């Protein structure tokens, strides 16, 4: 679990297809890293497989490579780094799991008076988690959605100068692809609503089956079937 507050920017050195060697001049800002620790790398939760004087290595699975921008990183690419959240630490951003929902790309970045206004286009599987004033993690950076279209395929964020300068968001160009993670709370709400709807439909279908069986057996007339009472529902398990 992370917060989306970037602690350092690192440099990627690719070693083979599934091993990343990441160094950072600000590695001390990641705390006392240990073997097996989780680190967010551009918003992706990776496990430290070995420690280096100024960095660490991490294995990357084919699934992660296929669903994120890591496979596109060239030698010396800049990545945002954040250590995992410790119990009792400040929670200044929002809960970020490090599990990427999909890819987006920068449409435009415009410097305003006190912020960089950055707009993005996103994949459909991410769009349903995009809501105005909701949270979004872009390359691991916790940001608030300032504006979006009704279906969430486009959104805009305002990035303060400090965040812009201290993360790799400042290196993005129009068309650059980014890792996106929607607010985990929205995903659970979505599932509960879907399961609730499915359960309701199954209950209705089950009740219709019971009525149909009664009709075929001749136990109830049409007028009786129309009057569904609390007693009838209780007899058939709908208490």
CATH number, span 102-184: 2.40.30.20
Cα Rg of the chain (Å, integer): 25
The answer to whether residue 237 scores a pLDDT higher than 80 is no
pLDDT of residue 154: 97
For the chain, what are the domain ranges? 8-83, 102-184, 188-235
Percent of the chain past pLDDT 70, that is, above it, reads 82
On the CB side of 167, CA atoms within 13 Å amount to 28
Among residues 94, 116, 105, 104, which one has the least CA distance to residue 2? 94
More confident residue, 237 or 113: 113
More confident residue, 234 or 66: 66
Percent of the chain past pLDDT 90, that is, above it, reads 57
Average pLDDT of the segment spanning 183-202: 74
The answer to whether residue 53 scores a pLDDT higher than 80 is yes
- Select from 2.40.30.20, 3.40.50.2000, 2.70.210.12, 3.40.250.10 the CATH code of 8-83: 2.40.30.20
Domains 8-83 and 102-184 belong to one CATH topology: yes
Sign of the C-alpha dihedral computed for residues 90, 94, 97 and 102 taken in this order: negative
pLDDT of residue 90: 79
**DSSP structural state of residue 131:** -
At 145-173, the pLDDT tens digits run 999 999 999 999 999 999 999 999 999 99
Average pLDDT of the segment spanning 113-139: 94
At 59-102, the pLDDT tens digits run 999 899 899 998 888 788 999 999 998 888 878 889 999 999 99
At 8-20, the pLDDT tens digits run 999 998 777 788 8
**DSSP structural state of residue 129:** T
């Amino acid at each position: 679990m992370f917060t989306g507050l970037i602690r350092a920017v690192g440099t990627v050195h690719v070693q083979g297809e599934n091993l990343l060697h990441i160094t950072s001049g600000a590695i001390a800002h990641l705390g006392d890293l240990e073997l097996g620790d989780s680190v967010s790398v551009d918003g992706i939760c990776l496990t430290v497989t070995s420690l280096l004087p100024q960095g660490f290595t991490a294995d990357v699975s084919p699934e992660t490579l296929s669903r994120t921008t890591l496979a596109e990183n060239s030698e010396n690419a800049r990545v945002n780094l954040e250590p995992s959240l410790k119990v009792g630490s400040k929670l200044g951003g929002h809960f970020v799991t490090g599990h990427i929902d999909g890819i987006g790309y920068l449409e435009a970045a415009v410097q305003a008076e006190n912020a960089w206004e950055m707009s993005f286009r996103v994949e459909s599987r991410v769009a349903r988690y995009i809501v105005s004033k909701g949270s979004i993690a872009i390359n691991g950076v916790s940001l608030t959605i300032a504006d979006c279209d009704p279906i969430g395929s486009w959104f805009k964020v305002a990035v303060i100068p400090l965040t812009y300068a201290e993360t790799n968001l400042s290196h993005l160009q129009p068309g650059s692809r980014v890792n996106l993670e929607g607010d985990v709370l929205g995903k659970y709400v979505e599932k509960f609503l879907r399961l609730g709807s499915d359960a309701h439909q199954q209950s209705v279908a089950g009740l219709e089956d019971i009525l149909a069986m009664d009709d075929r057996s001749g136990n109830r007339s049409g007028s009786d079937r129309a009057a569904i009472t609390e007693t009838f529902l209780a007899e058939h398990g709908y208490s």
